Structure formats: structure tokens, C-alpha cells
Amino acid sequence: MDPLFLLIQVLNGVQYGLLLFLIASGLTLVFGILNVINLAHGSFYMIGAYLAYALTLKTGNLWLSIALGLPVAVLIGLAVERLMIRPLYSRDHLYQVLLTYGLILVFNELQSVIFGNDVHGVPVPAMLQYSIPLTENLSYPVYRLAVSAICLVMVAVMYFVIQKTRLGMSIRAGSVNREMVQSLGINIKLLYAIVFAIGAGLAALAGMIAAPLSSVYPGLGEHVLIVCFVIVVIGGIGSIRGAFIAALLIGLADTFGKVLVPDFASVATYALMAAVLLWRPQGLFGRA
Amino acid sequence: MSEQRITLALAVVGVIVLALLPQFADRYYIQLFTRIMVMAIFAMSLGLLVSGAGLVSFGHAAFFGLGAYTLALIGAKEAASVWIALPLAIACTAVAALAIGALAVRTSGIYFIMLTLAFAQMFFFLFNDWKALGGSDGLYVAARPTVEIFGERLLNLNNRPTLFYVVLGALVLVYLLIGVLMRAPFGKVVDGIRVNEHRMRALGYNTYRYKLVAFVIAGAIAGLAGFLYATQNTYVNPALMGWRESGLVLMMVILGGMRSRLGPVVGAFALVLIEDVFQGITERWLLLVGLFVIAVVLLLPNGLAGLLARLQPKKAVADG
């Protein structure tokens, strides 16, 4: 294989993986700390993408749209947590699966009522509308690099928040022993709400920055959701580090799968998962 | 009356009403109720896993779809014999369930939910992406399977009432089979695993093997339901294996309530009929289904059966 072509595929794979990590990290946090299965997590990705579409149509600027849209997505996340998820903390996973399944149906129908079922595009911001020429007919779009950069910044921020701040300390403690955190006087309800909102915000952000790369279409949250489930399983439930490594693995497997075995690219992801689980049933970084 | 007696009475009345249905219902309702009964068989197979062994599978549609696809692949050119197609469909799904179950049953809780979901998606994409298996367009069944003995036609499945009665018979058989299974020592062990797996292991039971067997049986029955689905609709597509279908059948199990063996059947009837009503009201019926699902989870912790139990006098519940 041509090394430049290989480089492009690696860049694409890493970019896709980083984007998936933004979504999967929220999912794994909600699993690990709230002990809740949130099938509607993909809906926040969709909400982000459609907010980016609607707001850039109005404002003409993607960055401004992100600044305006992100608080909206976080507020929706807070409302969902308060009204629907909170009553389910003490109930079986079964009910969480069902309720969030119902939420997906509701969000999808609302999307179709508000925006219709057409495929929409979001323009790449003017300042990033370049491609870096690699050879005569190969080039790499700057916006993809920018997406990777934004994701890396978010990874750094998350690492800092979780490892170095008081909030992060509570989050880490909460994932190990909830009762203890509670009895130490930390407001666990507030902590849960914050974690859920952060997860919703990260997924929405991913949807926003991915909007110019892939078009905005109905049901786009669902494919991403299932892939993120696989990432969370491979990484080990509740492990951010595991999610990071698994996301990159899946990003690369998917990209190279599409190049090498185009007919079965989607199966590659799940085959990877099966292989990892045969070796480590609790995932790469999961606690047994 | 004890709760068991009420369940039995309800089941008998239900079967009698259903048996009389083709006498006065029109074509639409015969088809609708055939579809509902197929879904009820499917829901019962999942109920065996969820309320029997306590294994919440979110990928059960994979087996339903596989059963349907087996018939579609055998009967793509000409009508298949039911004596070949049906055992093959059940065998294929059982083998698939054995392979998936061997991995999935090692885990529990969230991991089991997500693993089954992921494996079902693997099947979905395999059938969705592979052109030889019909791809995303799906496959047509050339003709409904033939039921012949020594060349004599026993039943004509193209006849709607006949198919209706065949599916009703399958429903009753599966209901009785699961009843026998759960009353047998096997059922008692599986029950014990749901309540306290550690204790069952301490008692010397190989819980892994029991859970795996339950998973395979549930998969095979789902395959039977899928076979019947393909027989009725003569068309299959990958969406049958999709996670929406898995969610739908899980909804049926929970809606019916998990304390009763009749629960999944009640859930299947309720949900498909509700969908039918919503579809008549608005094009946005999925929105109503979604809101309905949310309302059931938040307001009816024990499903519709729980609602019935609440209506009964307190003593009757205490007897159950």
C-alpha cells in the first residue's frame, strides 16, 4: 500500500476514533457512576448535529452555533435526567433500557416533525476550507485535522477535570463506592445530574463538529450509539481510559475495514469486540 | 381464586375466543391476530430468559430474524417442505444461540445486555451488507411451505384461517412447553439462578450450563416465531434482526408484567393492538408509542399484569 494513502487512512481512523471517544466517554461515565444504561445517548449526538444545522442556517457561523447550541443540549440533558432518569436509579436495568428506548422514538419523531426527513448539509467554516496537498491528486482537508484537534483538547480537559479537580475526585470516588461518597456528605443527586449533563454535552458537541463532515440525516444518532456501546464494552464499563483506547481501535478498524473489506466493514467492528471479549470478558480496563 | 387459577382461566378463555375469531372476523383482523400470535410466541421465548433466568437479552431479534431468513433462503426458488424447513430453522437458531450464548452467558447485568445487543447488530450488518443474503432489500419467500404427508396435502398455509389456526396451535404448544419446562427440575434451578446465582453455585449446580441451555431454548423458540413470521409475510429484511425489534419484544415482556407466565402474551397483544390504534390516529404514531413506553415505565412498575393485581382485593394478591 502507498505510504501516503496509508497515512490518510490512519488520520481518518484516528479522527473518527477521537470523535467516537467524545460520545462514548459520556456513555461510559453514565454507566460507571450512575449505573444507568442510556440508550438515548445517541439522541444527544443527533440533537447536536441538528442544532448545528439549524443555527448555522441562521447565524452562518459554526463556532457561534456551537457556543449557542451547546447550552441548549446541556439543558435538554438536565431536563431528561431530572424528569425521566432520576426515578430509575434504584430500578432494574431493564426499565432504564425501556425508558430510554421510548425516548429515542420520541426524539426521532420530534426531529422528523421539526426538521423533516431530508438530508441536510452543514458548510465547513470558511477559515478551514482548505486541503493540504500531499501529491498531485491526494490531499487532506484541514477541517478533519481541526476536528481531531478539538477532540484532543476535550480529552485533555477531561483528563484534567477528572484527575485534578474536586469534581473529578467525587466522580472517581462515586464510580468506586457510591454509598461512601454519599455518607461523606457529597450531594450525590447533584453529582449525578452534572455527570449526565456533561455526557449529553460531549455527545452534542461531537454531533456539532461532525455535522460538516457527514451530512445531517434522520437516525444518525442510532448508528453512532451502537458503535459506542461496543466501545464501552471493549474498554470496560466505566473506564474512560478503556473507552479512549477502544474508540481509537474501533476508529482504525472501521476505516481500514472500509478500505480492505468494503462489503463487511460493519462486521469488522463487532468481530473486534468478540475477539477482545473472548480474551477479556470484562473488557480491556474493566473491573471483573 | 388463586393467581394461578386466574391465569389458567384467562388462558383458556383467551384460546376459546381466538379459536372462534376466524368465524366472525374479516381478513384484516385474521391477519392482524396471526401477526400478534407470532409476536406472542417471540415474546414468550424472551420471557423465558428475562423472567425465568433473569437474563435481559437486548439482542433476541437476531434469532427471530435468523429463523425467518432460514425459510427465505430455502424457499427462495420454490415452496419448501415444512418437515425440512422448520427443523432447519430451529436448528440454525439453536446453533447461533449456542455460539452467542457461550460468550454472553458468562457475563451478567449491563454486560449481558450490551453483549447481546452487539452480537445481534453483528448479525444485522452481516445480512444487511451481504448481497448473497439479500442485502438491505431483504428477500422474498417464493411460496409458503408445503405441509404434506406421503405426497398428500395436509394443510394449505395459503389459506388465511388455516395459517391462523396453525399459529394458534404453535402458541398453545409453546405456552405448555415453557410451563412444563419451568415446573421441571430444570425450571426450578433456573428460577434459583435468577434469585441468587451464588447460592445455586454453592449448592453445586453448574449455573453456566443451565443459563446456556435456557438461552439456546429461548433462541430456538424465537427461531420458530421467525419461521412463522416469514411464512405469513413471505418477505424478510434485516430490520427483523435490528435492535428496534429487540427493544419492541422486550417491551412486550415488561408491559405484560413478569410475575405471570401469561405476561408476555398479554404484552404482545396489548402492544400490537395499541400500535394498530395509534397508526389509525396519526402518521406520527411512533411518537405516541414512545410516550406510551415512557409512561408505562414511570407509572406502572409491574406492567399491565401488575395493574390487574392492584385492582384485585388485597387478599387475592397475598395468596399468589
> SS3 string of chain B?
CCHHHHHHHHHHHHHHHHHHHHHHCCHHHHHHHHHHHHHHHHHHHHHHHHHHHCCCCCCCHHHHHHHHHHHHHHCCCCCCEHHHHHHHHHHHHHHHHHHHHHHHCCCCHHHHHHHHHHHHHHHHHHHHHCHHHCHHHCEECCCCCEEEECCEEEECCCCHHHHHHHHHHHHHHHHHHHHHHHHCHHHHHHHHHHHCHHHHHHCCCCHHHHHHHHHHHHHHHHHHHHHHHHHHHCEECHHHHCHHHHHHHHHHHHHHCCCCCCHHHHHHHHHHHHHHHHHHHCCCHHHHHHHHHHHHHHHCCCHHHHHHHHHCCHHHHHHC
Residue A93 pLDDT grade (very low, low, confident, very high; cuts 50, 70, 90): confident
For residue B318, the model assigns a pLDDT of 42
The neighbouring-strand residues paired with B153 are: B148
Note the pLDDT tens digit of each residue in A170-228.
888 887 787 888 888 888 888 899 999 999 999 999 999 999 988 888 888 888 888 89
Could B292 and A102 be called an inter-chain contact, meaning their C-beta atoms sit closer than 8 Å? yes
Could B107 and A281 be called an inter-chain contact, meaning their C-beta atoms sit closer than 8 Å? yes
The nearest CA of chain A is from the CA of B136 a distance in Å of 12
d(CA A99, CA B251): 10
For residue A238, the model assigns a pLDDT of 80
A110 near B CB under 8 A: yes
Contact A171, A191 (CB under 8 A): yes
For residue A288, the model assigns a pLDDT of 54
B195 near A CB under 8 A: no
Residues 236-255 on A with a CB inside 8 Å of B are 237
Residue ranges of the domains in chain B? 15-242
**CB-count exposure of residue A288 (10 Å: 0-12, 13-18, 19+):** exposed
d(CA B265, CA B15): 12
B304 near A CB under 8 A: no
Residues 43-82 on B with a CB inside 8 Å of A are 50, 56, 58
Q: What is the pLDDT along chain B (320 residues), one digit of tens a residue?
A: 577 788 888 888 889 999 888 888 888 999 999 999 999 999 999 999 998 888 999 999 999 999 999 999 998 888 888 899 999 999 999 999 999 999 889 887 778 888 888 889 888 988 988 888 888 888 898 888 888 888 778 888 888 889 999 999 999 999 999 999 999 999 999 999 998 899 999 999 999 999 999 999 999 999 999 999 999 999 999 999 988 899 899 989 988 877 778 889 999 999 999 999 998 888 888 899 899 888 888 887 776 666 666 665 554 444 43
Contact A283, A242 (CB under 8 A): yes
What residues of chain B lie within 8 A of the CB of A106, using their CB? Answer: 287, 290-291, 294
Q: Give the domains, in start order, of chain A with CATH numbers.
A: 13-128+140-279 (1.10.3470)
A82 near B CB under 8 A: no
For residue B320, the model assigns a pLDDT of 36
Could B114 and A265 be called an inter-chain contact, meaning their C-beta atoms sit closer than 8 Å? no
Of B125, B286, B296, the CB nearest to A109: B286
- Alpha-carbon A185 to chain mean position: 31
The nearest CA of chain A is from the CA of B291 a distance in Å of 6
d(CA A180, CA A173): 8
For residue B231, the model assigns a pLDDT of 94
For residue B60, the model assigns a pLDDT of 96
pLDDT over 90 for what percent of chain A?
Answer: 37
In sequence order, which residues have a C-beta less than 8 Å from that of residue A165 and are 6 or more positions away?
none
Give the residue carrying C-alpha cell 449525578. Answer: A192
B127 near A CB under 8 A: no
For residue B309, the model assigns a pLDDT of 63
